[in-house]
Amino acid sequence: MRIAILGAGAIGGVLAARLATAGHAVAVLARGPHGEALRRGGIALATPQGEIRARVSALASAAALAEPDVVFLCVKAADLPAIAAVLPEAVRRAALIVPVLNGIPFWYRPDTLAAPLRFADPGGRLACLFAGTRLAGGVAHFAAEMTAPGRVRQTSGGRLVLGPVGRGLAGRGPAGATADDCARIVAALNAAGVEAEVTSDIACAMWTKLVGNAAFNPVSALTGATMAQICEDETLLGIIRIVMAEVMTVARHHGVMVPVSIDQRIAMARRIGGSKLSMLQDLERGRPIEADTLLGAVAELGDCAGVATPIVDMLRALVVMRASRNLAGRAA
């Protein structure tokens, strides 16, 4: 299978290494020192079971893609519009496209909304760019981080959930992949050592992950604490519980009952251990944080449903200021 991975950070790196090792032709969008490292020595994935090293084709531009069978979009939400805009038309029309994004994705638009979410798809640009494509939603549960150019460390087994977007765009955007499309990719992932499954309710899978992401990520970014350190602090866990409750209430008002309790979600976090969360990793590397899709879109959906989200709002204001001052300090 010909596979393109746009965004070879932690998640993209795990997928690239596993799929290339399984014999698939993998092309990766990567620039700068990371792209050079991939061209020179391939990608190295450190796992609890040992190191995997695989050769991949490193591309400097999405415009250079040559008719892949599937495209995984593993970039940050802020980078997606620019990359989507230069995807060749033939790729957008023929390939199965799988965005694997944090937070509320651009394709999510329940019947309760009349327009794209400002914080997930400003102006509806992405919905337009992907109109008519075979698009499947992807939700990744991996504890992984980039440790150096060309090197990724995965600290837990991880799982990738795929599913048709169905009525996620209520007929106002991507045509959507079928369950059979998703099943073919899931079979390839499982054969490559990536635990994967197909769901008939990708929106529920997205909200279930978001309950934890919207709570733990900003707290980690503000405190510098790992998941394990947060879980050991009862005061921080009190904040985590309030945020989770706000997110679950918003989800419920948009027709999604998150199938795990707050205590169960925290227990899942404890099992992840001492991993750094993605928002903290972004801060430490001087990259933009995903406050809009993780927090802003939740608040926006809350407003649409008449649900107040005061702690989500507060955390977003704090992490946005923290990130702004961090970037200003690096530029000084």
The confidence band for 41, taking pLDDT boundaries of 50, 70 and 90, is very high
Question: Looking at the structure, do residues 168 and 114 belong to the same domain, yes or no?
Answer: yes
Return the CATH number at 116. Answer: 3.40.50.720
More confident residue, 86 or 11: 11
Question: Looking at the structure, do residues 259 and 181 belong to the same domain, yes or no?
Answer: no
Q: Domain total for the chain? A: 2
pLDDT at 171: 46
Question: Looking at the structure, do residues 145 and 287 belong to the same domain, yes or no?
Answer: no
Domain end among 148, 173, 200: 200
pLDDT, average across residues 47-57: 93
Please give the mean pLDDT across all residues of the chain: 91
- Summarised one tens digit per residue, pLDDT across range 152-163 is 999 877 899 999
| 121 pLDDT higher than 60 | yes
Question: Looking at the structure, do residues 155 and 247 belong to the same domain, yes or no?
Answer: no
What share of the chain has pLDDT > 70, as a percent? 96
Domain end among 167, 200, 233: 200
Question: Looking at the structure, do residues 8 and 53 belong to the same domain, yes or no?
Answer: yes
Q: In this structure, are residues 93 and 151 in contact, taking their beta carbons and an 8 Å threshold?
A: no
Question: Looking at the structure, do residues 35 and 179 belong to the same domain, yes or no?
Answer: yes
Highest mean pLDDT among 55-64, 108-117, 184-193: 184-193
More confident residue, 156 or 310: 310
pLDDT at 253: 95
| Selection from 76, 208, 84, 86 nearest residue 135 by Cα | 84
The confidence band for 117, taking pLDDT boundaries of 50, 70 and 90, is very high
Question: Looking at the structure, do residues 152 and 292 belong to the same domain, yes or no?
Answer: no
- Summarised one tens digit per residue, pLDDT across range 230-288 is 999 999 999 999 999 999 999 999 999 999 999 999 999 998 878 889 999 999 989 88
pLDDT, average across residues 86-112: 88
pLDDT at 88: 86
More confident residue, 119 or 127: 119
| 110 pLDDT higher than 70 | yes
| 172 pLDDT higher than 50 | no
Return the CATH number at 270. Answer: 1.10.1040.10
- Summarised one tens digit per residue, pLDDT across range 185-204 is 999 999 999 999 999 999 99
| 168 pLDDT higher than 70 | no
Cα–Cα distance measured from residue 6 to residue 138, given in angstroms and rounded to the nearest whole number? 14
> Which helix (H) or strand (E) segment is 77 a member of?
none
| 124 pLDDT higher than 50 | yes
pLDDT, average across residues 180-184: 95
| 3 pLDDT higher than 50 | yes
pLDDT at 176: 77
| 170 pLDDT higher than 60 | no
Residues that are catalytic: 209
Domain residue limits at 40: 2-200
HEC-encoded secondary structure of 80-120:
HHHHHHHCCHHHHHHCEEEEECCCCCCCCCCCCCCCCCCCC
| 128 pLDDT higher than 90 | no
Question: Looking at the structure, do residues 114 and 126 belong to the same domain, yes or no?
Answer: yes
Cα–Cα distance measured from residue 108 to residue 172, given in angstroms and rounded to the nearest whole number? 11
Question: Looking at the structure, do residues 240 and 170 belong to the same domain, yes or no?
Answer: no
Domain end among 157, 179, 200: 200
Q: In this structure, are residues 151 and 52 in contact, taking their beta carbons and an 8 Å threshold?
A: no
